[in-house]
Structure 1
Amino acid sequence: MTKLSVNINKIATLRNSRGGDTPNVIQFAKDAQRFGAEGITIHPRPDERHIRYQDARDLKSVVHTEYNIEGNPIDAFVALVLEVKPTQVTLVPDALDAITSNAGWDTITHKDFLVDVIKEFKNNNIRTSIFVDPVLKQIEGAKNTGTDRIELYTEAYANQYSVDKAQAVKPYAECAKLANSLGLGVNAGHDLSLDNIEFFKKNVPNLLEVSIGHALISESLYLGAENVIQMYLNKLK
């Protein structure tokens, strides 16, 4: 089974747009789990334009499934993760002004930095994952950082899916096979949706977890959150 982790950043974006507490991020995390989600993902950024650092602390007591915190490991982020101690930390090389994640790590160039950060998290019993492009040499580089898992950056797959889905998924399948042979767990995320998730799941071996936010929340506006979460779970079986 591939676990579904629901990224709730967009719920926080909607809340922040009015300055109040509606919709309530904590309640949505509770409900998503009640609807069947097997994890909750958040991605706090330094400007706290959606998920706030305090949200990360408040969610700790209500996430009883897998708690995944994503972000660029700047000092403040590292300190937050070490304080909260989620199930998993996913390291993403975001620029400070990035609208959303748009590239994976160069695991070769940044090897020494990643080794040090990952070691600190693992010393605190936090599972580590690093965001990577579907490039074989980057998977090999990831192995040398000491990470537990990789998260394959799936924007390219999503963009090419409607043109040639077999070709779109091919590099991801190859990278997953290599990762598996190296003893790395494989996660995936970014622009996965109800339209493209099932084909991805069927063709990427031993996919452990997908993190889905923007599409899932958008689809929920039309179909309802409980229904959409169940639809994803059915496609991931």
Structure 2
Amino acid sequence: MADGRVERGNQTRRAVLARTVDIASVDGLEGLSLGKIATDLGLSKSGVFALFGSKEDLQIATVRAARAVFVERVVQPVQDEPAGLAKVWRLCESWLGYSGRRVFPGGCFFYSVSAEFDSRPGPVHDEIARIRGDWARYIERLLDEARLAGGFREAADPADVRQLAFEVMAMMELANAHSVLHGEAMDYERAARGILTRLRAATAAPEELPERPPAFDFTAGRPSA
């Protein structure tokens, strides 16, 4: 019986977080309300409160749930590919698809909540900053693995890797911001062209990268054939 209660509690928690990540991507983490979520899901407010304890706890749990979705949709599809700039390109494709096909209704979840909490100190800010830092370091790591494997056309050092990672992230996030604001998929195509141009200029094996990015079909959630 105890195990059954625990499982029901876990199911309710998953249902709540599946709803809150979508709400927060559009309305922000401050837009989360225990009462509204309980009403939306047909739950008691006291039951939802018992699972999370406070709005801040709910916000942090929402950020962590969004991270799990991000890892599943963006990182895992390419994690087993061999080191090189081709792997970095496929990661960028994966990210552009994640944002463009609106895995979260508001576009990139972490772009949205970062803007909301970037100047607000506290545990929620710290959790967002930690995850954002992990993402930046992951891109830098993949680029550095490519460098160590001889994937760069010219000698590069860690500073060059960090600069390239910054430029790649900037293009992806600008595409997300413009697309969410203006509702145009062309921003993703521009970012893809810019990223691919930058990687092809750096790679020692241009044949491993496409000459141009594929046309993105965001209604299908992946590049079109």
TM-score by length of 1: 0.26
Higher helix share: 2
Higher strand share: 1
TM-score by length of 2: 0.27
